[in-house]
Structures are given as structure tokens and as C-alpha cells.
Amino acid sequence: MKNKNLYNYILGIADNSLILGQRLGELCGHGPSLETDIACTNMSLDLLGQVRSYYQYAAKIAGDGRTEDDIAMLRKESEYFNVLLVEQPNTDFGYTMARQFLFDVYHFLMLTELEKSTDLNLSAIAKKSIKEVSYHKRFSSDWINRLGDGTEESHSRIQTAINDLWTYTDELFHQTEADEAMVAEGVGVDVTKLKGAYYEEVNSVLEEATLSVPESKYFQKGGKQGIHTEHMGYLLAELQYMQRTYPNMEW
């Protein structure tokens, strides 16, 4: 493939949305209330819509006859480059919102920079997506606030979720070789530069929600290299079930 770095760079961004979209989609019909159920599936729909644009572009770059569906459905676990954060299970509504919030703040910052990409396709996708993601961020920040500043029970559970997921936040700011190459070309976003703004925003929401900022300095990584947590296999089994069972089926 001629443009391998660009291809991998796109997957690095898109896979986060695909896997988080799949996680949110799991809540369809299972959300804690009708409104939150609808909200989570709406966000899932936005993310999957964004993913289609990225994968269609990636398929064009690959130029080997694969379609967006092939890229989404037919890779092995080690070929997905999403961060570990987004594949973490729903566990309870606190975890679901904590995961969403910790990703949304990053996602918004990243898209703001991607809008300036010299690659017009990526810039267009970012411009479209950021409008949707700003709603996601509002929604998840609002829930962090409500749960944190809610009852004793909700406070302790959202704090536990934040503490547990904190270990996956640092990976958001790691760069792969493909990322570095794309940053050098003015196509990619230098995510290392987003770290300060990210923690500043996250911490201020946590403080407003009367939650404490975790002090742990130990962070997990691996997703960007295709090394995933034990949850990923189960997620893919469900995501890929139809395509694996009935190869080449079409909707």
C-alpha cells in the first residue's frame, strides 16, 4: 500500500469511534431509563456515522477492493488500533458515563485540531463530527456532575468508575509511528500537545462535581499497537458475528 501511514492513521482515529459506538449500542433497550437509553444509542449512531466516512476514505486509500464493511468487520483483534479506554465494558451507568466523558473531552480537542488538517477529507469529517461530539460532551459532563453531586450512592459509584478508568487516559496522548509521520506532514494531530488542556478540563468538571481527581500515576497502554484488554475479544465476537457466520452477507 502506497499510503500505509495515512491508512493506519485514519484507522487509529476511526477505531475509537467504532468500538465506543459498539459499546453504546449494547445499551439499546437496556439503558437505565428511556431517556438515557435513547441518548446512548443516539451517540452510538453519531459515532458509527463518523466511522463510515473514515472507513470509506481508508478503503479508497487501501485500493485493494475492500469496502468500509470489510474494514469494520473483518479485521483480527490485533489489527484494531483503538485505545483501551473505549473497549472497557459498560459495567453500570457510572462506568458508561465516566468512559464517555473521559473520551469526549479528548475527542472534542482532537477534532478541533483535525479540522486544520491539510488533508481535506479528514478536515471535512472533523468539521462535521465536531458538531455532534459537542452534544456528546455536554451530555456526559452533565451526568458526571449529576452523579458526583447527587446522592451518596451515586457519588461513590461515579468516583469508583473514574478511579478505575483513569489508568486508560494517558494512552490517548501516545503516538504511533504512523501518527508521527502524519503529524510531520501536517495531516495528523499532535496529540501529545493536547494533554495539558485535557486534564485541565477533566479536572475542572470533576471538581465541580465534588469528585476527587485520581492521584494514580500508573497508566495502561497497548490498544494503539493492537494489544487489547480481555474485553475486546468478546466485543468483536458480537460485532463481527453476522459477517463471520454468513461471509459477504449484505443488509
Partner 1 sequence: MSKENQILQPSDNSSLLGKVDGALVSILESISDPEIPVLSIMDMGVVRSAVIENNLVKIEIAPTYSGCPAMDVIGDDIKRAMQKAGYTAEVDLILHPAWTTDWITPRGRKALEDYGIAAPLDAESDKLVLLEGKKLVKCPQCGSTNTKMISQFGSTACKAQFQCEDCLEPFDYFKCLK
List interacting residues with partner 1 (CB under 8 A). 35, 38-39, 42-43, 45-50, 52-53, 56-57, 67-69, 120-121, 123-125, 127-129, 131-132, 135, 138-139, 142, 251
Beta strands in the chain (DSSP E): none
Residues in Cβ contact with 166 at an 8 Å cutoff, skipping those fewer than 6 apart: 102, 214, 216
The x, y and z cell numbers of residue 123, run together, are 478536515
Q: Distance (Å, rounded) from C-alpha 65 to C-alpha 61?
A: 10
Region class of 31: left (phi > 0), else alpha (psi between -120 and 50), else beta: beta
For 102, half-sphere exposure in the C-beta direction (CA atoms, 13 angstrom radius) is: 30
Q: Which is nearer to partner 1, 112 or 163 (CB)?
A: 112
CB of 232 to partner 1, least distance (A): 22
Q: Which is nearer to partner 1, 67 or 212 (CB)?
A: 67
Q: Which is nearer to partner 1, 47 or 161 (CB)?
A: 47
CB of 130 to partner 1, least distance (A): 9
CB of 99 to partner 1, least distance (A): 17
CB of 69 to partner 1, least distance (A): 6
Can you tell me which residue has the cell 492521584?
215
Q: Which is nearer to partner 1, 4 or 127 (CB)?
A: 127
